[in-house]
């Protein structure tokens, strides 16, 4: 059975880190209301995201999987050419661990460290994965890695392969993305380390908008579930029936924007505070930035990575990058 270390209980205020309740209260009561997309991922949110990855409209997951499938020996070779052997595979936002499960037979890690804010969901997934790889040293980490990336001492400090698939980097704003990548690119991560990252590429608006507003309404449910998670984290009284899902591609900013829009004038209350919303007023829940091969290469270079390689699909809809620390 894997080790599991939970550093995220949804309540604790650690030094310099705001509690979810106060972070949410602050962003929801701001003049332009927003909530961080990390609050999509409670147990139900992780299941809804898993359903999204199976939708026809949501091309990123299957396109990325096809890129790995077609290039796994080249990718494994690029990693070993870095001087990495018996790596520690650090899976950032591991979710159901399905992407790592396909990678593990090719890069043969000595240790696997799946990290996710959705702690219960991750713990189940890590247990499942252990059954398929009984000899693998698995250390599951329940953690919000968006604010800091300090890993416990059990995690191997050399030959680290940071794995950040699924275009999750796109959920950071560019300045935060650069800060986060810089943390990974820091030589303090240890000798012979690198980053294997999947990123969604700019394309036509119709394809992008359909991916974030599917006909079945799963993405809408995923978006509204953030309100359920907020209700549980901050004891608020969001009524889901008063909100609708909105997803738009902003080409100038190169990002999908997801919002929840108030269908009527309404008031949301939580202990000690309340916030009025006018009919049509929006709360921003997610940016999903789309990069080009050039803009991503540049970002990785700026963060301090070297020897950057990439693989893409024939339509150039998605790309996988390998970058050395
Ligand atoms: C996890 N992340 C990369 C997804 C994305 O595409 O930005 C989250 C998501 N939001 C709506 N659909 C999927």
Question: What are the pLDDT digits (tens) for 29-55?
Answer: 999 999 999 999 999 999 999 999 999
The answer, yes or no, to whether residue 190 has pLDDT greater than 80, is no
Give the pLDDT score at 191.
75
Give the pLDDT score at 15.
55
Determine the average pLDDT of the residues in 138-143. Answer: 96
Exposure b/e, 123-132, CB count within 10 A at least 16 = b:
bbbbeebbee
Cα 268 to ligand 1 centre (Å)? 26
Going by alpha carbons, the residue nearest to atom 3 of ligand 1 is 168
The answer, yes or no, to whether residue 189 has pLDDT greater than 80, is no
Cα 96 to ligand 1 centre (Å)? 15
Give CA–CA dist 139/135, Å, rounded: 13
Give the pLDDT score at 146.
86
Give the pLDDT score at 13.
53
**Residues 6 or more apart whose Cβ sits within 8 Å of residue 156:** 88, 110, 111, 190
Determine the average pLDDT of the residues in 84-93. Answer: 95
Give the pLDDT score at 12.
61
Give the pLDDT score at 14.
60
With 0-12 / 13-18 / 19 or more C-beta atoms within 10 angstroms meaning exposed / middle / buried, residue 274 is exposed
* pLDDT tens track for 249-295: 999 999 999 999 999 999 999 999 999 999 999 999 999 999 999 99
First to last CA, the chain: 31
Residue with more model confidence, 32 or 18: 32
Give CA–CA dist 272/263, Å, rounded: 25
Residue with more model confidence, 26 or 186: 26
Residue 108, helix vs strand vs coil: coil
Neighbours of 30 (CB within 10 A): 12
Q: How wide is the angle at C-alpha 144 spanned by C-alphas 141 and 149, nearest 5°?
A: 80
Q: What are the phi and psi torsion angles at 172 (to 5°)? A: -90, 150
Give CA–CA dist 245/227, Å, rounded: 12
Q: Which two tokens stand for residue 4?
A: 């599991």
Cα 42 to ligand 1 centre (Å)? 14
* pLDDT tens track for 1-11: 899 999 887 76
The answer, yes or no, to whether residue 56 has pLDDT greater than 70, is yes
Give the pLDDT score at 11.
67
* pLDDT tens track for 203-218: 999 999 999 999 999 9
The pLDDT mean for the chain works out to 95
Q: Which residue has the tokens 């059990």?
A: 154
Q: Which residues partner with 114 through β-bridges?
A: 91
**Residues 6 or more apart whose Cβ sits within 8 Å of residue 115:** 90, 91, 92, 93, 94, 122, 140, 141, 142, 143, 145
Give CA–CA dist 209/219, Å, rounded: 11
* pLDDT tens track for 218-256: 999 999 999 999 999 999 999 999 999 999 999 999 999
Going by alpha carbons, the residue nearest to atom 11 of ligand 1 is 212
Q: Is 167 in the pocket of ligand 1 (CB under 6 A)?
A: yes
Going by alpha carbons, the residue nearest to atom 7 of ligand 1 is 288
Q: What are the phi and psi torsion angles at 136 (to 5°)? A: -75, 135
Q: Is 46 in the pocket of ligand 1 (CB under 6 A)?
A: no
Q: Which residue has the tokens 């590429």?
A: 201
Q: Is 166 in the pocket of ligand 1 (CB under 6 A)?
A: yes
Share of the chain above pLDDT 70, in %: 98
Give yes or no for a contact between 224 and 203, defined as CB atoms under 8 angstroms apart: no
Give the pLDDT score at 187.
80
Q: Is 220 in the pocket of ligand 1 (CB under 6 A)?
A: no
Give CA–CA dist 309/320, Å, rounded: 8
pTM for this prediction: 0.95
């Amino acid at each position: 059975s894997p080790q599991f270390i939970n550093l995220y209980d949804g309540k604790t205020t650690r030094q310099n880190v705001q509690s979810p309740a106060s972070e949410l209260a602050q962003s929801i009561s701001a003049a332009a209301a927003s909530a961080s997309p990390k609050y999509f991922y409670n147990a139900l949110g992780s299941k809804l995201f898993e359903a999204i990855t199976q939708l026809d409209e949501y091309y990123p997951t299957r396109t990325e999987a096809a890129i790995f499938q077609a290039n796994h020996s080249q990718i494994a070779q690029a990693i070993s050419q870095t001087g990495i052997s018996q790596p520690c595979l650090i899976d950032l936002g591991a979710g159901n661990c399905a992407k790592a499960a396909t990678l593990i037979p090719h890069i043969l890690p000595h240790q696997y460290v799946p990290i996710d804010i959705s702690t219960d969901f991750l713990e189940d997934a890590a247990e499942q994965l252990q059954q398929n790889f009984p000899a693998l040293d698995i250390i599951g980490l329940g953690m919000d890695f968006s604010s800091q990336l300090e890993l416990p001492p059990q995690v191997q400090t050399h030959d680290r392969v940071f794995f950040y698939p699924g275009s999750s980097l796109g959920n950071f704003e560019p300045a935060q993305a650069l800060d986060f990548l810089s943390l990974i690119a820091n030589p303090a991560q240890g000798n012979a380390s690198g980053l294997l990252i999947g990123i969604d590429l700019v394309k036509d608006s119709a394809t992008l908008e359909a991916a974030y507003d599917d006909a079945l309404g799963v993405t809408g449910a995923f978006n509204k579930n953030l309100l359920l998670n907020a209700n549980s984290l901050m004891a608020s009284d969001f009524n889901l029936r008063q909100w609708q899902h909105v997803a738009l591609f902003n080409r100038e900013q190169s990002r999908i924007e997801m919002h929840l829009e108030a269908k009527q004038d309404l008031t949301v209350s939580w202990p000690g505070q309340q916030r009025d919303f006018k009919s049509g007023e929006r709360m921003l829940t997610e940016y999903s930035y789309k990069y080009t091969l050039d803009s991503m290469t540049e970002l990785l270079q700026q963060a301090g990575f070297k020897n950057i390689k990439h693989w893409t699909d024939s339509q150039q809809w998605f790309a996988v990058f390998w970058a050395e620390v």
